[in-house]
Amino acid sequence: MSNQPEVKLIALDMDGTLLNEFHEVSDENRQAIKEAEKKGIHVVLSTGRSLKTARDYVLSLELSSYLVTVNGSEIWGPDGNLIERNPVGTEHIQWMYDLSKQHGGNFWAISSKDNWNNEMPDDLLSEEWLKFGFHIEEDEIREKVLKELNDKGLFEISNSSLVNIEVNAMGINKAKGLEKVCSLLGISMKNVMAVGDSLNDIAMITEAGLGIAMGNAQDAVKEAADDITGDNTESGVAQAIHKWVLES
């Protein structure tokens, strides 16, 4: 891509992208991130995870920039302060919880305070909710749930694996979170390289100046991307950083 804009920010998904099959950051990925930061490039984790399950990685990588969590539902500043929160209405969470009980399968939910797996608090109203997720192995049941969610027309729907569904507030996704970060840094989305593997990465991959799909990415993500790098088990993030940032 000869007209490729200069990369000033690297946005990285975590699971299936930055992290290998053991949920670890490889030495190659770690080194490439350090080298990019030495060049003055911002490295931002943009994840479906909550702050609670992403924070240790941020600390371990010694990242000094912003953090986009829960698919854009929360944006955190370099000093750990909350910049923006975009919740899902409690009545919608209740409806999805009932839907998951009706169809079976596993579920999870993320609130501003905690992560919930296959159980919910007695008082849903006591929490501010950010995301609801369905894990359904059976294709037919998952399609039914997906149809009911889409028919509502109230949600941002994606996934982070082929057998799950992730639901955020309408209009909330990783791209929206990164747009906010870019505006705070005074740069354009054209100057972003976004790397991911699942449907919850498509918005940032298509809206970034350079969108990179992992080798292990879902087909729809590869089709949306400008380039495809190695798998998450082969330090594909480091490969992309070397190709497009360090050696370009």
Strands (E), 57-146: 67-69, 74-76, 82-85, 106-111, 115-117, 129-135
Q: Which two tokens stand for residue 187?
A: 């740069």
Of 194, 136, 196, the closest CA to residue 16 belongs to 196
Instruction: Check if the beta carbon of residue 136 is closer than 8 Å to that of residue 97.
Output: no
Going by C-beta distance under 8 Å and a sequence separation of 6 or more, which residues neighbour residue 135? 105, 106, 107, 108, 163, 164
Locus of tokens 């190709």:
243
Say how many Å lie between the first and final Cα of the chain, rounded.
10
Enumerate residues 6+ apart whose C-beta is below 8 A from 210. Answer: 1, 4, 5, 7, 192, 193, 194, 226, 227, 244
27 catalytic? Reply is no
Q: Active-site residue among 13, 15, 197, 201?
A: 13
> Which one, of 223, 242, 225, 245, lies nearest residue 234 by Cα?
242
CB 237 within 8 A of CB 32: yes
The catalytic site residues sit at 13
